[in-house]
Chain A
Amino acid sequence: MTQKSAAATPEHVAPQELPFPPLNRGWGWLAWFSTTDHKKIGILYIVTSLFFFGVGGIEALLIRIQLAAPNARVLTPAEYNAIFTMHGTTMIFLVVMPILIGLANFLVPLMVGARDVAFPRLNALGYWVFLLGGIVIYLALFTGSLANAGWFSYAPLSEYAFSSRPGMDYWIVGLIETGVGTIGAAVNLIVTTVRYRAPGMTWRRMPLFVWMMFITSLLILFALTPLNAGLIMLLGDRILHMHFFRANASGGSAILWQHIFWFFGHPEVYIMALPAFGIISEVIPVFSRKPIFGYNFVAGSGVAIGLLSFAVWVHHMFAVGLGVPLNAAFSGASMLIAVPTGVKIFNWSTTMFQGRIRLKTPLLFAAAFIIQFVIGGITGIMFAVVPIDWQLTDSYFVVAHFHYVLFGGTMFALWAGVYYWFPKFTGRLLHERLGKWHFWLAVIGFNMTFFVQHILGLIGMARRTYTYPNLPGYFALNLISTIGAFILAVSVLLFLWNLVWSFRKGEIAGDNPWDAWTLEWATTSPPPEHNFVRLPPVNSARPLFDLAHPEMADGISKRTEGHA
């Protein structure tokens, strides 16, 4: 079986023979509620995130409609403020994190050759607690209010004195719950990676996606715990009249909240970026038909990023007035983190060099990821240059910057990953032509929406304003941005349609449609409940390559390292 799966022509299976969800033991749809199978839980995470992606996307469009023209009154200030708060909260906590955790839930056990995660019931608990948190945040709608202090909810604006509606309390409690769920998932991924790798899979033979998820999980463990502590303190301030962050009460400090929040918040950026790096590190080699260039450096730079990510949080606070020495120290650390990130960029693009590049949708998204992520990265360096940050932070320039990182970067990487692994999840390929339409519309829409926002920031437009006076250039650039957002929305609709259509009618994929090299492709698509009938030997980071090309297996070719 393993020989077959590594062969160039995939085994064709008739559609009616594909069990979906995989082996549900006759429980029907109820199986989705009781399941502890990592694959089903992964799918639950992903489907939940897609739902919230729709919610967050509609919020984004409402923001862009309100901002399309100066002095517009489509939304009231209160509505606008609640919507941008929920857009940020939703996209970060209910879309990007859970979809990445969902992918990892499905893929990490398969990639390390395990039957399931280490603690399947904790895994299920994690998902359901996360879902509860997401629901609680939006349940606030029934109180007639939503959180409206922004996704980083700076005190004292988030304190009872300035936000007395209950939406804030729902937001805090909901986030604590999603945090607990996410920590459960992280513990599982860490233990699974440490304890359940297949025989022969040493740390240096682990797929890079697993490496990046392992580092991400450690970051979750050390970053979400302080966030939850901070949220509990804020809740104490609001409902028990404590005064951790109330400035004028005895001993409270508004700035303390910012330290706690960004001690979580910056690692959080890498929690959302490292899995994307992992996806790109899988997709680019497979579609370039070459091993990743500099495996050790890609993995090692991930570790460096993970460590440094805890030493840069003050770069979100340069305008607070903490003094030149402290700001300079964090400026240096923030610049330093660009070095390992650059190493990754160079390794990915060099992996493509002299390859045999198959221009399929996953590779297109991966290539756009590299370029867009570089734009987000260099504007990131600008924010590490403190005086530039002193001008541009809290302007539309920063909005453009983090959307280049999180949408142009992470979201594009996720799309690369979805096109790449969809066949493993469902047994069917996504439609390639629809995929290319999706890709090009997404590239045009994304860049049109967010590139102009760099200019808006430079010409003095502050972020988070529900409207703006008709200053020179503001109207035209905002209108372009809004039109871009609608093009992007069309591309997302095409993507969702592609998922639905291909799930039902897509081309049958077979075990290994891309001729890929890691263990998840050594089983059927979708995999059986126990994942593998038999594992191939693992003698390198590309076990299926070694099987298909015993004469030039990685163990041998590694000796020629450095020779083109």
Chain B
Amino acid sequence: MDSLYSKANSVLSPASPYAHNIAHLFWVTFWISVVVLVFVSAFVIFNIVRYRDRNQGGLPPQIHGNTAVEVTWTVVPFVILAVLFIMTVQSMEAVSPPKHPKTPPIQVDVIAHQWWWEFRYPDNKVVTANELHIPTGQSIELTLTSDDVIHDFWVPELGRKMDAVPAHPNKLVIQADRPGVYLGTCAEYCGAEHAWMRIRVYAQKPSDFQTWLAGQAQPHPAPTKIQQIVGMGFFTSACSSCHNITGSGTPGAQDVGPDLTHLADRETLAAGVLPNTPKDLRKWLEDPQAIKPGVHMPNLHLTSQQLDGLVAYLEEK
């Protein structure tokens, strides 16, 4: 479990031009702030030390103010902030989706749900959940919406965060310079399991990404072993009212719960709460409420046989 989260996801270790731009702006603002803080703190502490009452009696000079000084400390911060404002607007444009891109960016539709992420690659008819795959070195345009309440897509190393609002599609552009896993999370409080609505972005070399995409576009592997056949049978009769598996013979397009086609290719279960191993999947199916209390998936009170079957079918490679 901890190995899934051994990598930091810091705003200050940017891995995209967008996150770089923001980190740079952060450092500029940070150093201005440090100067202001050191100056004010030093002045306050100096005054306390230097002008502490030592029972010398009498009154200090009764100074009521000085207009020139007041104007100075009004105008100087104003000028600094004006410069910061210009930098802000420039950066805002730079990290927003370009209006006239040279090459059209790859499109991914992101639909947020309580408490999981649905990722759709509209050009390839691929649907996956919680783990987003992208090619390195190119901009990805995400169209964010929500199926229920407001959520927020945040992968700090790849770019800004953006709310996923019902009936208000938002465009967000991300990019990864280097292959790797980038961690993120839902950042807008969205109810009971807000904590376990995590995001994993897998940035792959474009060729690897294309291979992955082609693999995902295939139907789920057909069951071969008896247990897998039992599992598929149970899936189509019970699970398919909420979940879809392409190739299982269900109508498809159910997105009450995550699409489970090629589940075995994913590293985590239930938006990051468990690693994806047969043992953990069995534990999850046995009682989802014990692992992710409040999750919309009920405890189905499955028999041991049903559990074995489902695990075998779902984890089929």
Q: Which residues of A contact B (CB under 8 A)?
A: 76-78, 81, 149-150, 154, 156-157, 161-162, 247-248, 253-255, 288-291, 293-297, 319-321, 324, 327-328, 331-332, 335-336, 338-339, 342-343, 345-347, 349-350, 352-359, 367, 370-371, 374-375, 378-379, 381-382, 384-388, 390-395, 457-460, 462-473, 549, 552, 554, 557-558, 561-564
Contact = CB atoms under 8 A, between A and B. Distances in A.
A370 B40 contact: yes
B73 A394 contact: no
B228 to A, nearest CB: 31
B70 A297 contact: yes
Interface string B42-61: 01110110011100100111
Given A358-B53, A370-B44, A381 B84 contact: yes
25 contacts: A253-B167, A254-B166, A254-B167, A290-B60, A293-B63, A295-B64, A324-B92, A327-B92, A331-B85, A331-B89, A338-B77, A342-B73, A343-B74, A355-B60, A357-B47, A367-B44, A381-B81, A381-B84, A460-B185, A465-B195, A469-B1, A552-B59, A557-B64, A563-B63, A564-B61
Nearest to B151: A157
B191 interface: yes
A162 B7 CA distance: 34
Interface in B160-207: 160-163, 165-168, 170-171, 183-195, 198
Given A320-B165, A387-B88, A395 B187 contact: yes
Given A339-B77, A549-B59, A462 B8 contact: no
Contacts of B29: 381-382, 385, 388
Contacts of A346: 73
A352 B47 contact: yes
A345 B40 contact: yes
Given A328-B89, A462-B187, 8 more contacts: A289-B60, A324-B96, A339-B78, A349-B43, A391-B161, A460-B10, A463-B189, A558-B64
B189 A352 contact: no
Interface residues of B, number: 95
Contact of A394 (B6, B161, B168, B193): B161
Nearest to B95: A387
Contacts of A564: 61, 63
A324 B90 CA distance: 10
B4 interface: yes
A77 B60 contact: no
B65 interface: yes
Contacts of A460: 8-11, 154, 156, 183-185
B37 interface: yes
B150 interface: yes
B194 A391 contact: no
A561 B6 CA distance: 62
A316 to B, nearest CB: 12
The 4 A-B residue pairs with the shortest CB-CB distance in the complex, in nearest-first order: A390-B160, A465-B195, A321-B170, A247-B166
